[in-house]
Amino acid sequence: MQPMRAWTKPCPSCGVDNFTLQLRCSDCGAYVRDRVPALDLFSTLWGMLEQPTATALRIGRSEQKNYTHLLFALCGPLFFAAMLFVARVGDTTMPFGYLLLGVVAVGPVLGLLLLAAASLLQRLLFRLFFGVILRYRETAAWVAWSLTPMMWASVIVFPIQLSVFGLILFSTNPAPWQLLPLPFWMLGILSMISVIWSLLLLPLGFRVHGPSYKSILIQQVPLWLFLAIMVLVGAELLRAFA
């Protein structure tokens, strides 16, 4: 296996190689790259879909790391929906209004807590696997922006599912795929694609520290298992209180 080598950028003044996220040359102090004071929300969201590698590098270079926790919150309803689906709350007597209130009130908080914990776990895993110490704000930013496809599923696909199926979306009698199979599978496949797409985007930013894409993809398996386990735990809690 080849040794890890962090991405570098030569200084335009003295030619010394510097870590690609570094702003000034470690030798002469000259600017190695352009400053990125803050991120633009919509251009960065589009960039993660159109030019993910370049956009992930720009995120790493940004000074503010803005919108990280907003994206965490926007992803929350999708995780909450997964818990509701596994718990089959549509088979209980829970009113639809309570379910909507939970999606709006609990979903964003759940996203903040769950993905902040996932970012801390990613820091730990990255250090254990590769010996690289990451900052939380750097890790959380790459996690948040990599989940762009899931965020779109959370704010667009999931509300459409709710409007089409209502409580039946989380029911087994009748099951939504039996009642309206075409819209269920069309929207469900879009949600599944968003998860797979996010999984493939997540390693991109972390590559600047030297590990290969494949090794980071393997390293992040426990991270996705953690999120899946949290969904199952949340579903059990919903069953207990529904």
Instruction: Express each pLDDT in 103-114 by its tens digit.
Output: 999 999 999 999
Residue 202's pLDDT band (cuts 50, 70, 90): very high
Same-domain check for residues 23 and 96 = no
pLDDT of 1: 44
CB 117 within 8 A of CB 177: no
Which of 24-38, 68-82, 103-117, 189-203 has the weakest average pLDDT?
24-38
| Rounded distance between C-alpha atoms, residue 126 and residue 178, angstroms | 43
Number of separate domains in the chain = 2
Same-domain check for residues 68 and 159 = yes
- Residue 19 pairs in a beta bridge with 8
For residue 118, tell me if it sits in a domain.
Answer: yes
Query: Which of 15-29, 85-99, 213-227 is most confident?
Result: 213-227
Give the percent of the chain with pLDDT over 70.
98
pLDDT of 5: 83
Same-domain check for residues 71 and 18 = no
The pTM score is 0.93
Question: Is the Cα torsion angle 217, 222, 228, 231 positive or negative in sign?
Answer: negative
For residue 1, tell me if it sits in a domain.
Answer: no
Same-domain check for residues 171 and 138 = yes
Residue 47, classified by CB atoms within 10 Å of its CB into exposed (0-12), middle (13-18) or buried (19+), is buried
Tokens of 152: 């779109």
Question: Is the Cα torsion angle 224, 75, 77, 189 positive or negative in sign?
Answer: negative
| Rounded distance between C-alpha atoms, residue 195 and residue 6, angstroms | 28
Q: Exposed e or buried b for every residue in 161-185, given b needs 16+ CB within 10 A?
A: bbeebebbbbbeeeebeeebeeebe
Residue 60's pLDDT band (cuts 50, 70, 90): very high
Query: Rounded mean pLDDT of 116-138?
Result: 96
| Rounded distance between C-alpha atoms, residue 121 and residue 143, angstroms | 11
Give the percent of the chain with pLDDT over 90.
82
- The predicted-structure confidence for 64-110, as pLDDT tens digits, reads as follows 999 999 999 999 999 999 999 999 998 888 888 888 998 999 999 99
For residue 2, tell me if it sits in a domain.
Answer: no
User: Considering just the CA atoms, what is the radius of gyration of the chain in Å?
Assistant: 20
| Rounded distance between C-alpha atoms, residue 240 and residue 80, angstroms | 15
Dihedral (Cα; 111, 117, 118, 121), 10-degree rounding:
180
CB neighbours of residue 13 within 10 Å: 13
| Rounded distance between C-alpha atoms, residue 131 and residue 135, angstroms | 13
CB 90 within 8 A of CB 169: yes
Residue 3's pLDDT band (cuts 50, 70, 90): low
Mean pLDDT rounded to a whole number for the chain = 93
pLDDT of 242: 67
Same-domain check for residues 69 and 88 = yes
For residue 202, tell me if it sits in a domain.
Answer: yes
Residue for token digits 């251009």? 43
Same-domain check for residues 19 and 108 = no
| Rounded distance between C-alpha atoms, residue 184 and residue 29, angstroms | 57
Query: Rounded mean pLDDT of 216-221?
Result: 96
Question: Which element (helix H / strand E) includes 124?
Answer: helix 96-130
Kindly give, in sequence order, each residue whose CB lies less than 8 Å from that of residue 224, ignoring residues fewer than 6 positions away.
Answer: 199
Domain containing 154 equals: 40-241
For residue 220, tell me if it sits in a domain.
Answer: yes
Same-domain check for residues 18 and 61 = no
For residue 24, tell me if it sits in a domain.
Answer: yes
